[in-house]
Structure 1
Amino acid sequence: MASHPPAACCFQGTQHQGQPLGSLSSLGDFEIYTSFPDDRSTDYGVLILTDIIGHRFNNAQLLADKFAANGYFVMMPDLFYGDPVPLNRPGDFDMQKWRRGEYGGLNKSHTPSTIDPIVHACLVEMRTKYQCKKIAAAGYCFGAKYVVRHLVSGPSKIDVGYAAHPSFIDEDELKSIKGPLAISAAEKDSIFPAEKRHDTEVILKDLGLPYQINLYGGVGHGFAVRGDPDVRHVEYAKENSFLQAALWFKEHLEVSIGVE
Structure 2
Amino acid sequence: MAEPELATKGPESDASAPPPPAVQQTPPAPTLSEHCTSDRPTPTGQSSTGEVTKLADIDVYISKPADYPHTPSKLLLLLTGGTGLHSVNNQIQADRFASEGYFVVMPDLFNGDAAPNASTLADEPTTPGSFLDTFKIKAAETAKSFLIDMWLARHTEEKVMPILTKVIDACKDEFADAVSHGGGVYAVGYCFGGRYILLLAGERPTVTGRGFPWSAVSTPAPDEEAGKTVVGPYIKAGAIAHATLVSRSDFEGLKAPVSLVSVENDPLFPDEVRTAGEDYMRENGVEHEVQVYPGVPHGFAVVGEYEDANIKSAQVTAYEQMLKWIKEH
Alpha-carbon contact 1:161-1:182 (below 8 Å) kept = yes
Match of 2:150 in 1: 97
- Partner Cα separation in structure 2 for residue 185 and residue 155 of structure 1: 25
Pair 1:69-2:116 in alignment: no
Determine if the alignment matches structure 1 residue 149 to structure 2 residue 199.
yes
Within the alignment, does 1:54 sit opposite 2:104 as a pair?
no
Determine if the alignment matches structure 1 residue 24 to structure 2 residue 52. yes
Q: Distance in 2 between matches of 1:52 and 1:163?
A: 15
Report deviation, 1:249: 0.3
Aligned position for 1:14: 40
**Contact residue 301 and residue 319 of structure 2 kept, 8 A:** yes
Q: Give CA deviations for 1:163-183 in whole Å, capped at 9, x if unaligned.
A: 110111232221211110100
Q: Which residue of 2 aligns with 1:255?
A: none
Q: How high is the TM-score relative to the length of structure 1?
A: 0.86
Query: Superposed, which structure 2 residues align to 1:1-260 within 5 Å?
Result: 5-9=30-34, 10-12=36-38, 14-17=40-43, 18-41=46-69, 43-85=73-115, 86-87=118-119, 91=141, 92-93=143-144, 94=146, 95-100=148-153, 109-131=154-176, 132-133=179-180, 134-153=184-203, 154=231, 157-225=234-302, 228-252=305-329
Aligned-partner Cα distance in 2 for 1:71–1:88: 30
The answer for the alignment partner of 1:256 in structure 2 is none
Q: Is the contact made by 2:233 and 2:256 (CA closer than 8 Å) also made in structure 1?
A: no
Superposition RMSD in Å: 2.0
Shift of 1:46: 0.8
- Single out whichever of 167-176 and 143-152 deviates more from structure 2: 167-176
3-state SS of 1:138 partner: strand
Structure (1 or 2) with the larger CA radius of gyration: 2
Structure 1 residue 226, shift from structure 2 partner: 5.5
Alpha-carbon distance in structure 2 between the residues aligned to 1:88 and 1:196: 30
Cα 1:43–1:227, aligned 2, differ >3 Å: closer, same or farther? closer
Provide the C-alpha distance between the structure 2 equivalents of 1:217 and 1:8, rounded to a whole number of angstroms. Answer: 18
1:227 is displaced (CA, Å) by 5.3
| C-alpha contact 1:188 1:220 (8 A) present in aligned 2 | no
Question: Displacement of 1:147 after TM fit?
Answer: 0.9
Following superposition, the deviation at residue 39 of structure 1 comes to: 1.8
Secondary structure of 1:70's counterpart equals coil
Contact residue 52 and residue 59 of structure 2 kept, 8 A: yes
Secondary structure of 2:264's counterpart equals strand
Q: Could you tell which deviates more after superposition, 168-177 or 231-240?
A: 168-177
Figure out how many residues of one structure are paired with residues of the other and give that number: 241
Tell me the SS of whatever aligns to 2:31: coil
CA contact (8 A) 1:124 1:156 kept: no
In the TM superposition, residue 12 of structure 1 has moved relative to its aligned partner by: 4.3
Structure 1 residue 207, shift from structure 2 partner: 1.8
Q: Give the direction of change, closer, same or farther, for the CA distance of 1:140–1:242 in structure 2 (3 Å limit).
A: same
Give how far 1:228 is off.
Answer: 3.8
SS at match of 1:53: coil
For 1:19 and 1:88, locate their aligned partners in 2 and report how far apart those are by CA, in whole Å.
Answer: 15
